[in-house]
Structure 1
Amino acid sequence: MWNSPAEFFAMGGYALYVWCSFGICVLVMFIEPASIRIRRKAIIKRLQQERLAEQFDKEGRQ
């Protein structure tokens, strides 16, 4: 139980650990979806290039 906002933010002397943990958690929650989106776009681009290469190869054989 905290008697004031200052005590709440001090977290009983563990403020650095607590707030850094929250900060890292929030950072990861933003970075993870962004990295997944970037990897997805790269995979789609690579698959499109492979499909075009296969089409070009088939046209060259005919």
Structure 2
Amino acid sequence: MGGYALYVWCSFGVCTLVLLLEPLMIKARHRAIVRRLRQEVLAERFTQGVK
């Protein structure tokens, strides 16, 4: 690899890490959004019931 093996393999490693972590981060973000929306719906129902 002409002296660039460390750079090449580290680049492959970082790319692989990103490709593995991205779906996990998207799933966590999705769960947080769904949880927040459920809380907002419950809060809205509660305030409508109080009036």
> Match of 1:12, SS?
coil
- Normalised to the residue count of structure 2, the TM-score between the two structures is 0.92
Q: How many residues align?
A: 51
Runs of 4+ with >2 A deviation: none
2-structure distance, mates of 1:30, 1:51: 33
2-structure distance, mates of 1:13, 1:43: 47
> Match of 1:13, SS?
coil
Indicate the RMSD between aligned Cα atoms, in angstroms.
0.7
Work out whether 1:42 is the aligned partner of 2:14.
no
- Normalised to the residue count of structure 1, the TM-score between the two structures is 0.77
Instruction: Say which structure, 1 or 2, has more relative contact order (CA 8 Å, 6+ apart).
Output: 1
Percent of aligned positions that are identical: 59
Larger C-alpha radius of gyration, 1 or 2?
A: 1
Q: What's the offset of the Cα at 1:17? A: 0.6
Q: What's the offset of the Cα at 1:31? A: 1.1
